Amino acid sequence: MALVVDKPDEPRFRWRLVAYSALATYVAAFLLFAESWAFGWDETYHLLAAQLIRAGRKPYIDFCFPQTLLNAYWNAGWMGVFGQSWHVPQTVAALLTIGAVLLTADFVARWFPTPGWRVPGAIVAGLVTGLNAMVFLYGPLGQPYGMCLCTLVLAFRICVRTPDRSGLGLPGCAGFFAGVAAGSSLLAAAAAPALLAWMLVYNRAGSRWRKFAAFVVGAGIPFVPVLWFFVKAPRQTWFNVFEYHVFFRKLYWPETTRHDLEVLTSWIDSGQALVTGLLAVFGLLYLIRGSSWPRTVKAQFYLAAWLAVALAAEVARAHPTFPQYFLLIVPFLAILAVAGIYAIAERLIEGARPELAVSIVALLIVLGLGKAIYNRRDEAKWGEYELLAAKVNQVTPPNAPLFADEPVYFLTRRIPPAGYELYYSHKVDLPPEERARLHIVTEAEVKQQVQSGVFATAVSCDDDQINNYGLKNIYRRSADLVDCTVFWDRKVNPPGGSAN
């Protein structure tokens, strides 16, 4: 009798090999990028806030921080374990972003109704999400993007399992992770009502009202810190969480409406955005009009559409808005894009074999990312600011007053003077007693303090500011580094003191 050995399913094995190879390559490249080149100016005040928290300062109460709080305390916690370096929060954010990519790809691998497309579809979903230019460039930063991506996809993955479960644990967890996303950045707040509405509409087991209550309670837990601060300091909390965004964000973008229109139409010039968006639209149309998929599976893909629309509407209304805000919708567009590429292949490629379709999408996505990285090749990096910070520490006595921006304060580990924790607050125009309560100094006050010789050292990367403040007349010595200038050895005596 001949021995019969079962042969492995060669196509499935081949696709799994491709998937694991792509995953390993992506993780290595993304972590390398996060630890070498990733940098965003706005992340610096988030990291400075975490550093101030480590020093015992309280957001809102002790310094201006117009954000919800979870990401700042999250960063502070990790820096308390591994040290106050930008590498720490960026590594954690990169891992969260990788988690979001894996959760997105795994959803397709588990739930796509055509078995032969599950692994190829997972590869497409992972590539479209992980190699999206905004996700790749901003996901590893110390801002809340990585946290929001991961928790939004987690909330989505949990929510799709709630319709046939009567228990309250899953609705509560879905609400909790949606709340964590919003508690890290209010840009993600629209996800919670979208998830809740879908859960109630498609519920098939258990009480809708009990699930509603469990979701709401779960979503409220991450906002306990903000509520605690509101009880302790209602005026400061209200200003940072609400008033600043409604009335003062646009001060640094005078032509805000024009700016927003340019951002909202920038997808026309992005090959990645066009490919992803068109495939997602095709996928949604296929689900609505031509698909014979089970209703339960369709409903899950519809939730991805609900989330994409809700989040896009919210971030589009931010005044001003920015392209990176839209990275929050990418995982959900990627899920729909898999349905879109399947629908196209089913009609145009005999036997609906995925190889060609997956290869074309992968090529377009990779080329789009390469172009985005190339276009940012000359932008600042953390390594450049580290050179600047080293010079500042060399010429500035310990505890001496320093005039600088957030990245230099963070890297030198020097506490900023009151009101200097956030550059974007200097144009806020409020009565003096209000500014004092909110820890805000105006541009005129900054200029007056600099020119009075209060600061032992001054750092500026803006030629107009150098000339306007007369820094060359205030300090005897200076050094140019990475397009910035460090000034020290004051000529002007500070009030009540003497020059160095």
The model's pLDDT over 86-142, given as tens digits with 9 standing for 90+, comes to 999 999 999 999 999 999 999 999 999 988 888 889 999 999 999 999 999 999 999
Residue 11's pLDDT is 66
Percent of the chain with pLDDT over 90: 78
List all residues 6 or more positions away from 237 whose beta carbon is below 8 Å from its beta carbon.
60, 226, 229, 230
- The pLDDT of 361-383, averaged and rounded, is 90
Both tokens of residue 388? 């600047």
Q: Rounded to an integer, what distance in angstroms lies between the CA atom of residue 422 and that of residue 420?
A: 6
CA distances from residue 367 to 73, 266, 371, 483 in whole angstroms, order as listed: 37, 18, 6, 30
- The pLDDT of 234-261, averaged and rounded, is 89
Q: Rounded to an integer, what distance in angstroms lies between the CA atom of residue 187 and that of residue 105?
A: 23
Q: Rounded to an integer, what distance in angstroms lies between the CA atom of residue 281 and that of residue 340?
A: 7
Statement: residue 5 has pLDDT above 80: no
Q: Yes or no: say if 216 and 171 are a contact pair by the CB < 8 Å rule.
A: no
Q: Which of 488, 474, 473 is nearest to 393 (CA)?
A: 488
Both tokens of residue 440? 């805000």
Residues 398-448: pLDDT tens digits? 989 999 999 999 999 999 999 999 999 999 989 999 999 999 999 999 999
Q: Is 214 helix (H, G, I), strand (E, B) or coil?
A: helix
Residue 267's pLDDT is 85
Q: Rounded to an integer, what distance in angstroms lies between the CA atom of residue 119 and that of residue 14?
A: 10
